[in-house]
Amino acid sequence: MQRVKFSVGLVLLCVLPMWIGSSNGCFAEDGGQLKLHLEQKLITAAAGCAQIPCGFTDLPTTFMAREIWFKGSPASPLSPEEVEKKNGLSRPLSTLKECSIILWDLIGLDRTEEYGFMLKLATNETHIFPETVQVSYSAVKMNISLSSDIIVATKMTLLTCSLSDLCLASDPKITWKGLRSKQYFPLRYRLKEDNVLKYYENLHYSPVSEDHQTEITCEVTFGKNLTASATVTLTVHSEPQILNSSACTRQQDLLTCVCVSQGVPLPDIHWPLLKGKRDFTTVRASDGHMTVNSTFMITAEDFGRIGTVICIGTNELGQANMTLPVIFEGNPDQSNELPVTFEGNPDPDTK
């Protein structure tokens, strides 16, 4: 009985100030004002969510139908997906009922939004509190870095992915993309820097030469359903290799020798056994990244005198060499007899 009377009294007092923007609000039975207590008027959201501590004058449950948060105007109530009721965010205030919430998945352009709170009373009337809270939020900030700008193939390097820490110290899930070779178990930790808590994930990685100019991405999923990523392009130095596509091709009386070498920085190619040879010119071609070709032509007669052709690739990390095989183009029958001339006989003139 007492409750019903209370209810009627309050409702009557509520009607006037309700939609006219008055800050007086409703009055409870004892004559006290219906109050909303927002501990902070301006809240900076962590990546993925914002927490709004809130309390309001407790009312008998028979009185109240619903607590509703809205964005901007009461005409835009927040959906249950956007807002989660969360007790314990507000300092306990004995006369107040907690209306704290978490707003999820705030992301996008840097901006500030205004949020307000209203009560739907059992009488179908609405009480809108005049107090509002501003929430500013910005895109999650992420970095990916390497222990040094230039890394060396097969040498262990440290990849670091960092992000401004996420809402509620949630455990972000980080995925590394683009890594080719074996990865070692990642190390995760948090550090406070310039008053911002940051989350770090370190990965030991041993790059392969093919990783040169590969994009490595660190992708994080957080909040309810958000992702962000950071990307770095690797510069991987590697020793020269002579590729197996290197060969001398014989067409009638002429051989075309191609040495294909790979390495970063780009290798220089030398043909040591051709030193002093008069009509010897090479053509150098490169894909600009890590492969370089050196080509020259030699008569079958000259080739016969040298016996074998070696090419050497050199860069600051080392060198590689290869004795080039001879391919007989268009006349496979010769394959069986001619190699004897070049490889088996140290003095071709004795043939």
Ligand X SMILES: *[C@@H]1O[C@H](CO)[C@@H](O)[C@H](O)[C@H]1NC(C)=O
Positions touching ligand X (CB under 6 A) are 123-124, 141-143, 162-164, 198, 225, 241, 243-245, 258, 260, 272, 285-287, 293, 310, 312, 321
Q: Which two tokens stand for residue 191?
A: 């550090």
CB of 292 to ligand X, least distance (A): 7
Check if the beta carbon of residue 6 is closer than 8 Å to that of residue 31. no
Q: Which is nearer to ligand X, 152 or 260 (CB)?
A: 260
Which residue's CB is nearer to ligand X, number 123 or number 202?
123
Closest separation between CB of residue 67 and ligand X, Å? 17
Give the separation between CA 44 and CA 85, rounded to whole angstroms: 18
What letter represents residue 317's amino acid? L
- Whichever of 36 and 166 has its CB closer to ligand X, that residue is 166
Nearer Cβ to ligand X (114/343): 343
Question: What does the angle CA 44 – CA 49 – CA 51 come to, to the nearest 5 degrees?
Answer: 65
Q: Which residue, 141 or 173, has its beta carbon nearer to ligand X?
A: 141
- Residue 245 Cβ vs ligand X, minimum distance, rounded to whole Å: 4
Q: Would you say 294 and 282 are in contact if contact means Cβ atoms under 8 Å apart?
A: yes
Both tokens of 50, joined, read 């914002």
- The residues facing 103 across adjacent strands are 50, 83
> C-alpha angle 225/230/233, rounded to 5°?
150
CA–CA distance, 302 with 296 (Å, rounded to integer):
13
- Alpha-carbon span 347 to 341, nearest angstrom: 9
Q: How far is the CB of 90 from ligand X (least distance, A)?
A: 28
Q: How far apart are CA 135 and CA 148, in angstroms?
A: 39
Q: Nearest approach, Cβ of 341 to ligand X (angstroms)?
A: 22
Pick 38 or 312: Cβ nearer ligand X:
312
Q: Which is nearer to ligand X, 115 or 271 (CB)?
A: 271
Cross-strand partners of 162:
143, 200
Least distance from ligand X to the Cβ atom of residue 196, Å: 7
Distance of closest approach, residue 123 Cβ to ligand X, in angstroms: 5
Tell me if residue 302 falls in helix, strand or coil.
Answer: helix
> Least CB distance from residue 176 to ligand X, whole Å?
17
Cβ proximity to ligand X, 143 vs 282, nearer residue:
143
For residue 137, give the nearest of 163, 160, 108 by alpha carbon. 108
Contact present, 122 and 63 (Cβ < 8 Å)? yes
The CB density around residue 339, as the number of other CB atoms within 10 Å, is 14
We find the least distance from the C-beta atom of residue 23 to ligand X, in angstroms, to be 26
Question: Minimal distance in Å, beta carbon 96 to ligand X?
Answer: 26
In the bound state with ligand X, the residue whose beta carbon lies nearer, of 111 and 141, is 141
**CA–CA separation, 101 and 245 (whole Å):** 65
- Distance of alpha carbon 29 from alpha carbon 24, whole angstroms: 15
Vertex 245, ends 240 and 249: CA angle to 5°?
Answer: 125
Helix H or strand E segment including 306: helix 300-306
Q: Pick the closer one to ligand X by CB: 124 or 281.
A: 124
